[in-house]
Amino acid sequence: MMGDNLVDLTSSQPEKQLESVARVQDPVNSATLPQLVEPDDLEDDTDDLEDSESESDDSDIFESALTDELERAEFEPYTDDDPGPISYTPVEGKDIRDKLRRLGPNRFIEQTITSGVVGVRKLVTAFGVRPDLPYGTRWYYQILGQCIQRELRRRQKLTEYNTVDDAVSLLQKSKNIMVITGAGISTSLGIPDFRSKNTGFYSKLLARGFDSPEDVFDIGNFDEDPTHFYELAHDILPVTDRCSPTHAFIKLLQDKQKLLTNYTQNIDNIEEYAGIDPERLIQCHGSWATASCRKCHTEVKGDAIFEDVRQHKVSLCKTCLDIIEKQPRKRKRTSNGKSKSRSSHSDSEDDGRYDVPQPGVMKPNITFFGEKLPSRFFDRLTEHDVAMVDLIVVIGTSMKVAPVSEIPNFVDEKVPQIYISREPADHINFDITLLGYCDDVVAELAKRAGWEIKHTNLTEEPLTATPGPKTGQWNIAPLNPATQPASTN
């Protein structure tokens, strides 16, 4: 399994950085790299892109830039259909990446950077990184090392699985199916997803004037001022009396004793209503099922705060309130340590006569930015599921949020993987990609498998499967587009 060797982002020695990458399993040549040099006369390292003496030495900024650009290269890769001397076309970039896999990192670096055939700025464009960023050569060496390591641990598509019927066959024969789900499986219930353009919850927050929608779910911001969350949370309050056909499909896998684990990134807890066994459910980002006091940590059922959420009212801990009510109020001391007399105060509530403790704020037990994921996620994945899984089905998620996004590259690369969603996830090499509304796609799979999904809202319209632009990619849609639902899953 690739990816066990991690490269230090903060290393200040680019040669050693790339040398450590080259020690990743290399079936061709595992010799130590010769010393790397940056030829002065390469046409792609023009004068205006050379290192600046004023380059910041701030390591935090340096590391942050690496992280940001790696993420951008992964999800919004740089492309240049009309390249100049410092970039590759997409086709050329793929050839470069194929060459890396064919040669291994050691010989790849020897035949590119060390030999002087290509400069580092041009080479990184094959991995989606811009060549004209305002950073020096040392920075580019480091990001190249990260790109090489990431490419080598990226799972490759299995060529034997390509069609819709292949997907059906995999579902029928597999006995330990890992299902990874996202917000797309709940949107047919009226629950918005987070990241879809124009319709996602983050888009709504941007429209309301929030510069960074993630700030609403930052634990530090919540503790400082929970009103922002409570003003907006009603939009993502879950339904409690129904589930989608996709939830019912996952329950069907469980009933057929095929479900290994459902890793859900959703916080709506609809899996409970659908009947998913809690022992087979990992709520990666927590859920609305329970809520806890930020002060005394009292835990209650999630629906205990639903009414406050609907009213945009910050929910306070009843346990704290009861304790405060039973405690005698402490008279505040003056600066000389003496209690102020009653006669020395007006009747104003602002005169500070009593030191009244404040109750804690209730927070739904969803994982905010700045909080750790439940340990059960890592324990279940590493100690149980990795050894047993024989099929991965990803439904209704863009797979852009770590660590869930890393699961496809973490399991054995020979385990088949199916992806179901509205838009493709091109940064992961799934074997079969089925594009369409999740409810429609799972209905078609179940129909072809001869299974019955128990749900009242299954589409009755015939569906058609048409091949997409890539091998293994299919579009699933009703024959009559006018019947397409308005949901966004």
Q: Which of 30-44, 143-157, 226-240 has the highest mean pLDDT?
A: 143-157
Residue 416 C-alpha from the chain's centroid: 21
DSSP character for 383? Answer: I
Exactly one of 285, 345, 384, 427 is catalytic; name it: 285
Residues 257 and 387 in one domain: yes
314, part of any domain: yes
Residues 170 and 70 in one domain: no
Q: What is the pLDDT of residues 440-469, one digit of tens each?
A: 999 999 999 999 999 988 888 899 999 999
Contact of 277 with 245, CB cutoff 8 Å: no
- Which stretches of 12-140 are assigned E, i.e. beta strand? none
Q: Of the residues 100, 132, 153, which one is the last residue of a structural domain? A: 153
Q: What is the pLDDT of residues 295-337, one digit of tens each?
A: 999 999 999 999 999 999 999 999 999 999 888 766 555 555 5
400, part of any domain: yes
438 is in an annotated binding site: no
Residues 301 and 279 in one domain: no
Q: What is the mean pLDDT of the chain?
A: 82
Contact of 189 with 244, CB cutoff 8 Å: yes
Q: CA 395 to CA 418: how far, in whole Å?
A: 8
Residues 402 and 446 in one domain: yes
Could you tell me the pLDDT band of residue 31, with boundaries at 50, 70 and 90? Answer: very low
* Amino acid residing at 208: R
312 is in an annotated binding site: yes
- Which stretches of 396-467 are assigned E, i.e. beta strand? 417-421, 432-435, 463-467
Phi-psi region of 288 (alpha: psi -120 to 50; beta: other; left: phi over 0): alpha
296 is in an annotated binding site: yes
Residues 319 and 442 in one domain: no
* Domain boundaries, position 420: 164-191+241-285+373-483
Residues 296 and 227 in one domain: yes
The answer, yes or no, to whether residue 172 has pLDDT greater than 50, is yes
Residues 174 and 111 in one domain: no
Q: CA 173 to CA 486: how far, in whole Å?
A: 34
Q: Of the residues 337, 366, 395, which one is the last residue of a structural domain? A: 366
Residues 121 and 98 in one domain: yes
Work out how many domains the chain is built from and give that number: 3
The answer, yes or no, to whether residue 9 has pLDDT greater than 90, is no
Question: Residue 427 maps to which CATH number?
Answer: 3.40.50.1220
Residues 57 and 115 in one domain: yes
> Which of 49, 24, 22, 26 has the alpha carbon at shortest distance from 35?
22
Question: Residue 229 maps to which CATH number?
Answer: 3.30.1600.10
Whole-model pTM: value is 0.76
Cis upstream peptide for 27 (omega within 30°): no
Residues 307 and 440 in one domain: no
Q: What is the pLDDT of residues 374-429, one digit of tens each?
A: 889 999 999 999 999 999 999 999 999 889 999 999 999 999 999 999 999 999 99
Query: Is 285 one of the catalytic residues?
Result: yes
2, part of any domain: no
158, part of any domain: no
Q: Who's near 353: CB < 8 A, 6+ residues apart?
A: 331, 332, 340, 342, 345
Mean pLDDT lowest for which of 158-167, 170-179, 399-408?
399-408
Q: Who's near 62: CB < 8 A, 6+ residues apart?
A: 10, 56, 139
Phi-psi region of 84 (alpha: psi -120 to 50; beta: other; left: phi over 0): beta
346, part of any domain: no
Residues 315 and 393 in one domain: no
Q: CA 344 to CA 24: how far, in whole Å?
A: 77
Mean pLDDT lowest for which of 31-35, 64-68, 414-418, 428-432?
31-35
320 is in an annotated binding site: yes
Residues 262 and 385 in one domain: yes
